[in-house]
């Protein structure tokens, strides 16, 4: 079970409060977590990754264990602390626009 | 008893303003979708409870919202409230999927348009500027998007398909973004000829389809724009808004970057009707609901100074289809007013007398219940207003 903390606007879209959890088969990665997240909350499709390119939206970041995972290949295995549920994967809106 | 519902899109959420037919006392609800840019909301002409909304964000992209109860509750089409996962596990979140159609069967290659520096730039979807519900079917709605293209949904916004004949028209490399982006911001559905659609693009110009969106032709003859190399080119004009006299569908009006124009022949030719306007730069233009030659504009000082002349907010009305204009000031601020009125931020109701509404970048929404003679603010302190639409409820 992977813990994911979404930014407030996406929590509102998904109609959830606080963290969400998703089940991932195989080795958890940002890619597999996002696939599971979008399957569980289809209203989030297109909001974290572009529908057409499947690329991360430019002003979103993926943080975990005080590290920025945004620029790693999306198939990169997540840190052990995220996999075992000790730490959440954070989806963060970048500071932009003042 | 009759009434009106004014749908307001702002930089930080949507608001719904409701009144009875007197249009004196108002109930305000919102912000809906607080914090999001709400480019446009519009209700179905055949089902007043059906409202579509374009919700967008620089962070999270495009979202389409729909209400089936007049704006009380909202959901993303295809993902009803309370249901997060389809019973069969099939992903359903496609209401915000605007992908240009490049298929061999129905599509057009993804080409390029002019960028700000004159180089060519690939088409990239950014947001929905305008939603135009069908005149006949509440489940059919058109979306004008940036980068410029026209999409349609026939299932209440669950999925969208592009009319690729417009983007693939062949003049695309000459289109260029205005300051707000290369947006298709105006969609007019002809109430008589059901195969006829008008659109306007900044900065490409106006286009018309006579075969329900399959093919398109530029309708910019008579437009003169000094900011393009050939001022009378077929495309490249920064049309800010077009409006149709619904009782005389051949009669169109246009607010261009500079110039106000009129067409008697469904856009085949245009004539300038700026007349005695103090400045003919502006964004909005609209037509009285019952008088096809009564039109409204809000003159803005210039392309470099997006606020009213002399700090006086004035609507101008012509009762002769242009050329002769009368300033309307009663109830509007006549000093120190430096707001803008954006292209989708004026609307009219169909009550008798016709109500006229507009919103400003200063967050005011004004109503005139008497066709422009007098004005009063409904609200004064909203976020910057992007769009105003009105539903007449009977």
What is the pLDDT at residue B118?
84
Question: CATH code at A49?
Answer: 3.10.20.30
pLDDT at B43 over 90: yes
- The answer as to whether A26 is a domain residue is yes
- The answer as to whether B40 is a domain residue is yes
- Indicate the SS3 state at residue A31: helix
What is the pLDDT at residue B344?
98
Size of interface A-B (CB pairs under 8 A): 76
What is the pLDDT at residue B358?
98
What is the pLDDT at residue B116?
87
- The answer as to whether A70 is a domain residue is yes
Domain count, chain A: 1
**Alpha carbons B60 and A59: distance in angstroms, whole number:** 8
Tokens of B173: 């490399």
Tokens of B382: 């909203």
What is the pLDDT at residue B80?
63
Average pLDDT over residues B161-185: 93
Q: For residue A53, what pLDDT band results from cuts at 50, 70 and 90?
A: confident
- The answer as to whether A77 is a domain residue is yes
CB contact under 8 A, A42 and B79: yes
Please state the φ and ψ torsions of residue A39, each to the nearest 5 degrees.
-70, -35
- The answer as to whether A98 is a domain residue is no
What is the pLDDT at residue B90?
56
- The answer as to whether B41 is a domain residue is yes
Name the pTM for this structure. 0.95
**Alpha carbons B160 and B148: distance in angstroms, whole number:** 15
- The CA-CA-CA angle for residues B124, B128, B134, to 5°, reads 130
- The answer as to whether B307 is a domain residue is yes
Q: ipTM score here?
A: 0.91
Average pLDDT over residues B292-314: 97
Average pLDDT over residues B32-38: 97
In chain B, which residue's Cα lies nearest the Cα of A45? B93
Share of chain B above pLDDT 70, in %: 96
pLDDT at B336 over 80: yes
CB contact under 8 A, B61 and A47: yes
**Alpha carbons B224 and B257: distance in angstroms, whole number:** 10
Domain count, chain B: 1
Question: Helices H, strands E: what count in chain A?
Answer: 3, 5
A57: closest CA of chain B, how far (Å): 7
Share of chain B above pLDDT 90, in %: 90
What is the pLDDT at residue B222?
97
pLDDT tens digits for range B56-94: 999 999 999 999 999 999 999 988 665 555 555 555 678
What is the pLDDT at residue B382?
98
What is the pLDDT at residue B89?
58
Question: CATH code at B62?
Answer: 2.130.10.10
User: Which residues in chain A are contacts of B94 at CB distance < 8 A?
Assistant: 45, 51
* Host domain of residue A48: 2-93
What is the pLDDT at residue B169?
87
- The answer as to whether A39 is a domain residue is yes
Q: Is the dihedral of CA A61, A21, A1, A3 positive or negative?
A: positive
**Alpha carbons B321 and B319: distance in angstroms, whole number:** 6
What is the pLDDT at residue B180?
86
Mean pLDDT of chain B: 95
Average pLDDT over residues A19-36: 95
**Alpha carbons A82 and A85: distance in angstroms, whole number:** 5
Identify the residue among B84, B94, B100, B102 best suited for mutation to test binding to A, counting A beta carbons within 10 A and taking the highest: B84
Average pLDDT over residues A27-54: 93
- The answer as to whether B92 is a domain residue is no
Query: When comparing pLDDT for B292 and B92, which is higher?
Result: B292
A63 CB-contact burial (10 Å; exposed 0-12 / middle 13-18 / buried 19+):
middle
Identity of the residue in B61, B96, B100 whose CB atom sits nearest the CB atom of A57: B61
Q: For residue B287, what pLDDT band results from cuts at 50, 70 and 90?
A: very high
Full DSSP string of A40-51 = H-GGGTTTSB-T
- The answer as to whether A6 is a domain residue is yes
Which B residues 120-139 touch A at CB under 8 Å? 125
CB contact under 8 A, B63 and A47: yes
pLDDT at A96 over 70: no
Tokens of B270: 């245009």
CB contact under 8 A, B84 and A40: yes
pLDDT tens digits for range B210-236: 999 999 999 999 999 988 889 999 999
**Alpha carbons B273 and B293: distance in angstroms, whole number:** 12
pLDDT at B192 over 60: yes
Identity of the residue in B60, B86, B89 whose CB atom sits nearest the CB atom of A57: B60
Cis peptide before B203 (omega within 30 of 0): yes
Is B168 in contact with B181 (CB distance < 8 Å)?
Answer: no
* Host domain of residue B162: 3-82+100-393
B98: closest CA of chain A, how far (Å): 8
Q: Is the dihedral of CA B279, B281, B282, B286 positive or negative?
A: positive
User: Could you tell me if B83 lies within 8 Å of chain A, comparing CB atoms?
Assistant: no
CB contact under 8 A, B84 and A41: yes
* Of the listed ranges A15-24, B65-74, B80-89, B144-153, the one predicted with least confidence: B80-89
- The answer as to whether B90 is a domain residue is no
């Amino acid at each position: 079970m992977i813990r994911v903390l979404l930014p407030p606007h996406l929590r509102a879209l998904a109609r959830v409060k606080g963290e969400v959890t998703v089940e991932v088969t195989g080795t958890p990665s940002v890619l597999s977590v996002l696939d599971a997240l979008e399957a569980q909350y289809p209203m989030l499709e297109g909001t974290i990754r572009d529908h057409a390119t499947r690329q991360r939206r430019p002003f979103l970041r993926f943080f975990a264990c005080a590290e920025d995972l945004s620029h790693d290949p999306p198939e990169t295995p997540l840190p052990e602390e995220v996999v075992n549920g000790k730490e959440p994967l954070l989806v963060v809106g970048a500071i932009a626009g003042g | 008893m009759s009434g009106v519902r004014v749908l307001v899109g702002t930089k930080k959420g949507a608001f719904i303003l409701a009144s009875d037919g007197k249009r004196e006392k108002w109930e305000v609800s919102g912000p809906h979708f607080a914090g999001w840019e709400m480019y446009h909301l519009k209700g179905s002409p055949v089902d007043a409870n059906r409202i579509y909304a374009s919700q967008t964000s620089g962070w999270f992209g495009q979202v389409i919202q729909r209400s089936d109860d007049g704006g009380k509750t909202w959901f993303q089409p295809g993902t009803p409230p309370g249901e997060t996962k389809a019973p069969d596990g099939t992903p359903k979140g496609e209401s915000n999927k605007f992908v240009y159609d490049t298929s061999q069967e129905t599509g057009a290659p993804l080409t390029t348009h002019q960028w700000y520096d004159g180089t060519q730039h690939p088409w990239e979807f950014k947001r929905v500027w305008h939603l135009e519900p069908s005149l006949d079917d509440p489940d059919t709605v058109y979306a004008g998007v940036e980068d410029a293209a026209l999409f349609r949904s026939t299932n209440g916004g669950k999925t969208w398909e592009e009319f690729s004949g417009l983007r693939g028209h062949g003049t695309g490399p000459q289109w260029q973004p205005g300051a707000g982006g290369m947006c298709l911001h105006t969609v007019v559905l002809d109430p008589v000829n059901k195969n006829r659609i008008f659109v306007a693009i900044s900065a490409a110009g106006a286009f018309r389809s006579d075969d329900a969106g399959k093919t398109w032709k530029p309708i910019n003859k008579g437009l003169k724009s000094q900011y393009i190399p050939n001022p009378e080119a077929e495309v490249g004009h920064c049309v800010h808004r077009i409006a149709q006299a619904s009782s005389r569908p051949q009669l169109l009006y246009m607010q261009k970057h500079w110039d106000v124009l009129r067409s008697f022949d469904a856009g085949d030719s245009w004539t300038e009707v700026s007349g005695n306007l103090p400045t003919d730069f502006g964004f909005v233009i609209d037509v009285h609901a019952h008088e096809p030659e009564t039109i409204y504009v809000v003159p803005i000082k210039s392309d470099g100074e997006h606020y009213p002349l002399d700090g006086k907010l004035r609507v101008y009305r012509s009762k002769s289809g242009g050329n002769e204009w009368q300033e309307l000031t009663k109830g509007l601020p006549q000093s120190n007013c430096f707001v803008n009125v954006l292209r989708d931020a004026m609307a009219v109701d169909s009550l008798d007398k016709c109500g006229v509404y507009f919103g400003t970048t200063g967050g005011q929404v004004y109503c005139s219940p008497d066709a422009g003679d007098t004005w009063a603010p409904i609200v004064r302190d909203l976020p910057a207003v992007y769009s105003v639409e009105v539903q007449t409820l009977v």
